[in-house]
């Protein structure tokens, strides 16, 4: 059983609630946010956030996906989302989005590091992958800060047009080197608030 809430530096991760739906629609509905992801529709349909949140409990119970709301530490206001898919999927192992007002604050990096800890230390996975649009340099930097190496580039359909994607990955051994390093800022400080 994964924790319901995690503290990771400047962010906290928690399960979504139905009350988060309007905030999801507001933040994820912005063109700049949706455009930078593979899965968020734009325009964002009414009711889509509530329907998406309603799938989380079942996916957690089946172990197919673990989705967390991202908030600022000490706050409960939703600023983004991150999901971990531990098994085989048509998509990479994890993905996240951050609302535009919260960009460039290190929140995506902190959330990604927390998900990596969950994957390797709680779920005992051997490798994680994530992808980003090649033109989305900010997402590439987040993955680089997590020591995710470029595995390949490939062209995929993105909103009806071919786009170049970068697929990055990190192994358990690679993460162990990061966690074992003494480099400042490299080791995430993740504190769970629920027991295994």
Local confidence band at 165 (pLDDT 50, 70, 90 cut-offs): very high
Give the pLDDT confidence of 27-86 residue by residue, as tens digits: 999 999 988 887 888 888 999 999 999 999 999 999 999 999 999 998 999 999 999 999
Burial-class residue 185 by CB neighbours within 10 Å (0-12, 13-18, 19+).
exposed
pTM: 0.89
Task: Provide the pLDDT for residue 181.
Answer: 62
Task: Provide the pLDDT for residue 196.
Answer: 41
Given a cut of 80, is residue 12 above it in pLDDT? yes
Local confidence band at 180 (pLDDT 50, 70, 90 cut-offs): confident
Beta-carbon neighbour count of residue 18 at 10 Å? 10
Contact between 168 and 130 (Cβ < 8 Å): yes
Instruction: Please report, for residues 44, 76, 107, the alpha-carbon distance to residue 13 in angstroms, rounded to integers and kept in the order given.
Output: 23, 10, 11
**CB contact set of 43 (below 8 Å; sequence gap of 6+):** 29
- In angstroms, how far is the first alpha carbon of the chain from the final one? 6
Burial-class residue 50 by CB neighbours within 10 Å (0-12, 13-18, 19+).
middle
Domains of the chain are 5-181 (3.40.630.30)
Q: What is the mean pLDDT of residues 9-29?
A: 95
Task: Provide the pLDDT for residue 87.
Answer: 82
Give the pLDDT confidence of 125-149 residue by residue, as tens digits: 999 999 999 999 999 999 999 999 9
- Exposure of 72 in the CB half-sphere (CA atoms within 13 A): 7
Task: Provide the pLDDT for residue 185.
Answer: 47
Strand order in the sheet with 149-158: 127-133, 161-171, 149-158
Residue 99: name the closest of 50, 41, 34 by CA: 34
DSSP labels for 20-35? Answer: GHHHHHHHHTSHHHHH
Contact between 5 and 13 (Cβ < 8 Å): yes
Give the pLDDT confidence of 91-126 residue by residue, as tens digits: 799 999 999 999 999 999 999 999 999 999 999 999
């Amino acid at each position: 059983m994964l924790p319901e809430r995690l503290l990771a530096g400047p962010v906290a991760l928690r399960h979504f609630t139905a009350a988060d739906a309007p905030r999801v629609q507001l933040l994820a509905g912005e063109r700049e946010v949706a455009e930078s992801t593979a899965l968020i529709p734009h325009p964002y349909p009414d009711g889509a956030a509530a329907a998406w949140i309603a799938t989380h409990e079942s996916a957690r119970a089946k172990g197919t996906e673990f989705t967390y709301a991202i908030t600022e530490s000490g706050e409960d206001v939703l600023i983004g989302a991150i999901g971990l898919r531990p098994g085989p999927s048509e998509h990479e192992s994890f993905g996240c989005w951050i609302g535009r007002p919260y960009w460039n604050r290190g929140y995506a990096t902190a959330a990604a590091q927390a998900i990596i800890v969950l994957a390797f230390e709680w779920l005992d996975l051997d490798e994680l992958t994530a992808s980003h649009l090649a033109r989305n340099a900010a997402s590439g930097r987040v993955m680089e800060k997590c020591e995710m190496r470029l595995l390949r580039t490939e062209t995929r359909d993105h909103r009806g047009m071919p786009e170049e994607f970068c697929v990055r990955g990190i192994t358990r051994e690679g993460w162990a080197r990061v966690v074992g390093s003494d480099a400042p800022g490299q080791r995430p400080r993740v504190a769970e608030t629920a027991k295994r």
